[in-house]
Amino acid sequence: MRLTQIQLRDFRAFPGNFELNLPGGCSLLVYGENGSGKSSLASALRDFIALDRPFPRPIGRHAHAFPDPAQRQPRIQLVFQNGENRDTIAWETAKLHPLELDDGKTPPSTTPTQRQALVDVARQSGFYDYRVLLRTSYCSGDVDLGEQLFLLFVENLLGGFPLVRGGHELVRERWDLLKNTVPANRWAARMREANRVSHPLNTALPGFLDQTRVEANRLLATYFPNQRLVIHALATPGCSFATETKRLTGHRIQAEIEYNGRRVDGHEEFLNEARLTALGLSMFLAALKLADSNPAAPDPLRLLVLDDVLIGLDLSNRLPLLTCLHREFSQHQTILLTYDELWFDIARDHTRHWGNWHSARMFAELTGPADPPIPRLKDNTDDLAVATRYLTANDLRSAAVYVRAAFEAKLRKTCEDNHLKLAFKQDVKKVSAQMLWDAVLAEQHLMGATGKEFLDPNLLPGLNAIRSQVLNRLAHDGGVGLTSADVQAAIASMEAFRACTIPHMP
């Protein structure tokens, strides 16, 4: 089963209707600046599918703020495809959430069969964003990190795990029951009665934590070895009620971390951002892998939604994360969202060779000085394919814009893969195509002096033609002097550039 369409209406950042198609149940890479609707899209999927949010879960609290309250009708509709069978499930006002059991009062959103199928999807899916990432390392308010980690595990990472294999009660459900338990008084019998509520969670949690630790260490060693991290323990003392205060205690997880062969006290203060990110990602991805009851089975739908999980100056984890997703989560239908255009370009160039992956750009369309921006989606699966479509329609300027995008993306990947030297720029967006091309030519000259070749010399005339006949005209006169032959030759040269082996003659 795969997710093939997402429809939103009056939901969070989306006034009116928004439709996102996922042809063939593809995975999707999305770029969009802050405010373009990415996080609202990720939240729609999480609020619809995830088991780690409490019920009741009315959609009205997520309604877009600007439409007339009398007119807005928040709604999310997902379309699932399983072979020839197509199933549509909607979450809307005045109905139960699709995961809620029929209470005989409010109209349900799903049949029992649909609900069970959605529960199965939820148990094997993961939803992760930078806010969750921060909870692995940064304390908020008066909560210490141990308590924050406990809440992260029982409410998010392990929230959808059955307490007992094959059982129906989930970790999150038992935790909700426990935190709402209050001993009637301090008498021993009443305290024992309250503490019995914590027993199933205390029994199950240490095993889940240790499995997560072992798997997270494997991921750290395999994909993030340069961070030199080992998790020695994820330990919890167990929950119980203190007789003196009747308050719940022991709801914390102590993480024991080793960095570069040394146990680190207060790792959240000691480790840098990249290492903390690798640590948080590995724990999340480890829990997600453990939730997959049958990794070899291709049929179950497993969703993985990652919304801006690599933030700030964290450059070192980009390619390791992509490699991990490709090798470890190939059965998952992944939606990867980012505000970082450079990271998007890198990821797009990698994922285009992975099979059923598409890419797109989101942007906020300004409709008027008093109206809210409207999130829009621009298909961006392949720049050369888009360029060819515009060429066929005789829109030469637009075709040239996409040729330029393909040229710059290939130059960036060539320089990155071959570790070419570039002038330092604090803002990586200021690394121009000319700088990248100069670095390629410098390497061509350097290797040529020893009788070797970085690029196939037969490519150079065509690539120089792209720059002089297409890109320069685009920059200086808006593409007025372009001809169909120029653009067609540029597309052919770019296709050859993409297909070539670099270095050509090492």
Q: How does pLDDT run across 361-411, given as a tens digit for each residue?
A: 888 877 656 667 778 777 655 778 878 877 888 878 778 877 888 888 899
Point out the domain boundary residue: 274, 291, 308: 291
Alpha carbon distance 185, 244 (integer Å):
10
pLDDT of residue 299: 85
Please classify residue 461 by burial: count the beta carbons closer than 10 Å to its beta carbon, then call 0-12 exposed, 13-18 middle and 19+ buried: exposed
pLDDT of residue 22: 92
Residue 480 domain flag: yes
Lowest model confidence (mean pLDDT) among 22-36, 189-203, 244-258, 467-481:
467-481
Angle between helices 341-351 and 396-417 (to 10 degrees): 80
Are 141 and 271 part of one and the same domain? Answer: yes
Does 144 have pLDDT greater than 80? yes
Are 12 and 56 part of one and the same domain? Answer: yes
Does 52 have pLDDT greater than 90? no
pLDDT tens digits for 222-266?
A: 999 999 999 999 999 999 999 999 999 999 999 999 999 999 998
pLDDT tens digits for 266-285?
A: 888 898 888 998 999 999 99
Residue 198: count other Cβ atoms within 10 Å of its Cβ.
Answer: 23
Alpha carbon distance 252, 146 (integer Å):
5
Q: CA-based Rg of the chain, rounded to a whole angstrom?
A: 26
Point out the domain boundary residue: 381, 404, 424: 381
Does 328 have pLDDT greater than 90? yes
With residues binned 3-state (H G I as helix, E B as strand, rest as coil), the percentages for the chain, rounded to 5, are: 45, 20, 35
Mean pLDDT, rounded, of the chain? 88
Are 40 and 163 part of one and the same domain? Answer: no
Are 195 and 150 part of one and the same domain? Answer: yes
Residue 421 domain flag: yes
Q: What residues form DSSP beta bridges with 92? A: 75
Residue 306 domain flag: no
Which residue range forms the structural domain that includes residue 137? 130-291
Got the DSSP string for 299-329?
SS--EEEEES-S-TT--TTHHHHHHHHHHH-
Whether 227 and 258 have beta carbons less than 8 Å apart is answered as no
Report the number of distinct structural domains present in the chain: 3
pLDDT of residue 161: 85
Are 235 and 347 part of one and the same domain? Answer: no
Alpha carbon distance 367, 297 (integer Å):
47
Alpha carbon distance 495, 408 (integer Å):
13
Side chain identity at residue 21, one-letter code: N
Are 369 and 393 part of one and the same domain? Answer: no
Residue 299 domain flag: no
Most confident of 54-68, 266-280, 325-339: 325-339
Point out the domain boundary residue: 337, 365, 381: 381
Are 396 and 372 part of one and the same domain? Answer: no
Does 313 have pLDDT greater than 80? no
Does 464 have pLDDT greater than 70? yes
Q: Using 50, 70 and 90 to split pLDDT, how confident is the model at 209?
A: very high
Alpha carbon distance 55, 96 (integer Å):
10
Residue 318 domain flag: no
* CATH number assigned to the domain comprising residue 141: 1.20.1050.90
Which tokens go with 190? 């009443």
pLDDT of residue 479: 57
Residue 229 domain flag: yes
Are 52 and 201 part of one and the same domain? Answer: no
Are 68 and 204 part of one and the same domain? Answer: no
Residue 368 domain flag: yes
Most confident of 192-206, 388-402, 404-418, 453-467: 192-206
Please name which of 342, 356, 349, 286 lies closest in space to residue 314, comparing C-alpha atoms: 342
Whether 368 and 63 have beta carbons less than 8 Å apart is answered as no
pLDDT of residue 447: 93
pLDDT of residue 367: 61
Does 127 have pLDDT greater than 80? yes
pLDDT of residue 381: 53
pLDDT tens digits for 73-87?
A: 899 999 999 888 999
pLDDT of residue 189: 93
Are 253 and 211 part of one and the same domain? Answer: yes
pLDDT of residue 54: 78
Please name which of 388, 393, 358, 418 lies closest in space to residue 487, comparing C-alpha atoms: 388
Residue 375 domain flag: yes
Are 95 and 216 part of one and the same domain? Answer: no
Q: Torsion angle, CA of 452/456/458/464, rounded to 10 degrees? A: -110
pLDDT of residue 41: 94
Are 2 and 115 part of one and the same domain? Answer: yes
pLDDT of residue 19: 86
* CATH number assigned to the domain comprising residue 85: 3.40.50
